[in-house]
């Protein structure tokens, strides 16, 4: 099957691309017109898709085989110097930090654990493509963060359903990778056509949604993925078509609903999760208990895959920001806020609160849509919460950061509510 047949592309659509150097000057409210141009890039084999993560996959196969030693894993991981360096950083992240830093790859693998190494190696290998600089970096990274959360939710749900949890992790991680490929395609078109449009994150995401399934199928073919993974990518919106792979596709589809709910609800409980996804009560109760662990794992990967703060060739941001990403009303505060990081805690100053998050000022630049851990000092206690960076903007010689709460534990929900009400 050709890529044109795969995508259902007509000849008229394939010809829809601007003349070289053309500037898009018309006002636009969406990016739908870029979809046929992305498909055209694919037909010309010009669409950026990252290389197959061969070393990470070899690690998974060796570990699945069972008869391996740390030395063998170290040799395989060491074949990819970039992967080896990021594994070492991950071993010294907040999740695995000890008194003495780990300085060798072998020690890092022993600290992390073989199964976790295989899982993290795949995320780090593929994730590097998602965290590059670009005009739509915030959109691309949001998609990738959601994929990480989905992967961890899939793993937990598969464990509870007595299905292969490690396979579920991979399915959750890669099933929506077509979204990342789509956003990268948009960025390439914007650069080539000198298109300066600035759209909301939702508008860019909607355009990627319309083409992500087809690009995901193409990526699966390019990487020669297994029939199971291919079925998950193809059918995660239509589980009833999955046939023999229905059990795994159901897990991925349920995880998608959970991720969507977690984007909207900062204080999820068992009832919230059951309304969002087809879960039994015992599954929903279990998922509530592991959400802080999910946040910690995503945060560690976020720090590990950090890109340089200074771009070699700065590009304009083409993602429109609202005046505030936090739900009104806002309440002004003067609170000490600590940004807790493996490289050292960063003192910040809280400036205003909302029911779903807070704003603070600090001398640090944080990638938008990354997961962070905050210690918010109140008169009675310190609230230790996870949050997602909604925006990071210069303010004087520092940055103003808005962070939306993520999966606040039930015992902290009432404390946050009281804090907000007391201002």
Nearest to 83, CA basis, from 132, 129, 121 = 121
Burial 266-293 (b: 16+ CB within 10 A, else e): bbbebebbbebbebeeebbebbbebbbe
Q: How crowded is residue 409: how many other Cβ atoms within 10 Å of its Cβ?
A: 16
CA separation for the pair 55, 360 (Å, rounded): 40
On the question of pLDDT at 334 being above 70, the answer is: yes
Architecture of 324-422 per CATH?
Beta Barrel (2.40)
CA separation for the pair 107, 100 (Å, rounded): 11
**Chain segment 342-369, per-residue pLDDT in tens:** 778 899 999 999 999 999 999 999 989 9
Give the pLDDT mean for 194-209.
Answer: 95
Q: Which residues contact 358 (CB under 8 A, 6 or more apart)?
A: 326, 333, 335, 337, 350, 352, 374, 376, 387, 402, 403
Within the chain, all domains assigned CATH 2.40.10.220 are found at 324-422
**Chain segment 127-183, per-residue pLDDT in tens:** 888 888 899 999 999 999 999 999 999 999 999 999 999 999 999 999 999 999 999
Of residues 117 and 99, which shows the higher confidence score?
117
- Per-residue pLDDT band at 341 (split at 50, 70, 90): confident
pTM: 0.88
Just give the CATH number of 54-304. 1.10.3210.10
Question: Is-contact 220 233, C-beta < 8 A?
Answer: yes
**Chain segment 51-74, per-residue pLDDT in tens:** 888 898 899 889 988 889 999 999
- Average per-residue pLDDT in the chain? 88
Q: What is the pLDDT of residue 156?
A: 96
- Per-residue pLDDT band at 328 (split at 50, 70, 90): very high
Give the pLDDT mean for 6-27.
Answer: 37
Phi then psi for 108, rounded to 5 degrees?
A: -65, -45
- Per-residue pLDDT band at 113 (split at 50, 70, 90): very high
- Per-residue pLDDT band at 99 (split at 50, 70, 90): low
DSSP letter, residue 34: G
Write the DSSP string, 242-256.
-GGGHHHHHHHHHHH
CA separation for the pair 226, 221 (Å, rounded): 9
Burial 25-63 (b: 16+ CB within 10 A, else e): eeeeeebebbbbbbbbbbeeeebebbeebebbbbbbebb
Within the chain, all domains assigned CATH 1.10.3210.10 are found at 54-304
Q: What is the pLDDT of residue 27?
A: 55
Q: What is the pLDDT of residue 378?
A: 92
**Chain segment 77-87, per-residue pLDDT in tens:** 999 888 898 88
Q: What is the pLDDT of residue 333?
A: 96
Q: What is the pLDDT of residue 309?
A: 52
The helix/strand/coil state of 20 is coil
For residue 41, the surrounding DSSP H or E stretch is: helix 35-43
For residue 416, the surrounding DSSP H or E stretch is: helix 410-422
**Chain segment 363-381, per-residue pLDDT in tens:** 999 989 999 999 999 988 9
Q: What is the pLDDT of residue 306?
A: 59
Number of H-type helices and E-type strands within the chain: 17, 8
List, in sequence order, every residue forming a beta bridge with 400; answer none if it has no partner: 361, 393
Residue 387 token pair: 């949050």
**Chain segment 267-326, per-residue pLDDT in tens:** 999 999 999 999 999 999 999 999 999 999 999 888 887 555 555 567 789 999 889 999
On the question of pLDDT at 193 being above 70, the answer is: yes
């Amino acid at each position: 099957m050709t890529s044109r047949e795969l995508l259902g592309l007509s000849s008229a659509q394939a010809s829809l691309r601007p003349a070289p150097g053309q500037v898009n000057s018309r006002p636009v409210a969406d990016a739908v017109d870029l979809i046929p141009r992305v498909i055209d890039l694919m037909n010309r084999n010009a669409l950026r898709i990252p290389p197959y993560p061969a070393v990470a996959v070899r690690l998974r196969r060796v570990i699945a085989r069972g008869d391996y030693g740390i030395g063998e894993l170290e040799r395989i991981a060491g074949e990819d110097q970039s992967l080896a360096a990021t594994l070492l950083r991950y071993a010294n992240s907040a999740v695995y930090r000890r008194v003495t830093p780990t300085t060798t790859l072998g020690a890092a693998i022993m600290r992390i654990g073989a199964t976790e190494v295989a899982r993290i190696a795949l995320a780090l290998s593929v994730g590097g493509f998602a965290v590059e600089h670009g005009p739509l970096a915030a959109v691309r990274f949001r998609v990738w963060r959601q994929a990480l959360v989905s992967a961890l939710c899939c793993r937990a749900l598969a464990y509870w359903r007595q299905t292969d949890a490690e396979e579920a992790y991979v399915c959750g991680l890669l099933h929506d990778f077509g979204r990342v490929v789509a956003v990268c395609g948009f960025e390439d078109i914007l650069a080539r056509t000198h298109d300066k449009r600035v759209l909301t994150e939702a508008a860019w995401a909607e355009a990627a949604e319309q083409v992500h399934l087809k690009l995901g199928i193409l990526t699966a073919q390019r990487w020669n993925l297994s029939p199971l993974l291919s079925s998950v990518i193809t059918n995660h919106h239509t589980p009833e078509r999955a046939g023999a792979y229905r059990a795994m596709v159901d897990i991925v589809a349920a995880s998608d609903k959970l991720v969507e709910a977690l984007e909207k609800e900062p204080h999820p409980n068992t009832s919230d999760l059951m309304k969002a996804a087809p879960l039994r009560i015992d599954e929903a109760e279990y998922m509530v208990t592991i959400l802080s662990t999910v946040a910690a794992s995503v945060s560690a990967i976020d720090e590990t895959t950090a890109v340089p703060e200074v771009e070699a060739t700065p590009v304009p941001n083409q993602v429109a920001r609202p005046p505030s990403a936090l739900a009104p009303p806002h309440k002004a505060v003067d609170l000490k806020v600590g940004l807790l990081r493996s490289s050292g805690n960063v003192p910040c100053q809280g400036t205003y609160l909302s029911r779903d998050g807070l704003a603070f000022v600090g001398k640090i630049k944080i990638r938008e849509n990354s997961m962070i851990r905050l210690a918010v000092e109140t008169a009675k206690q310190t609230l230790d919460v996870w949050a997602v960076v909604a925006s990071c903007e210069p303010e004087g010689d520092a940055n103003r950061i808005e962070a939306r709460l993520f999966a606040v534990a039930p015992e902290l929900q009432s404390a946050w509510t009281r804090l907000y009400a007391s201002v």
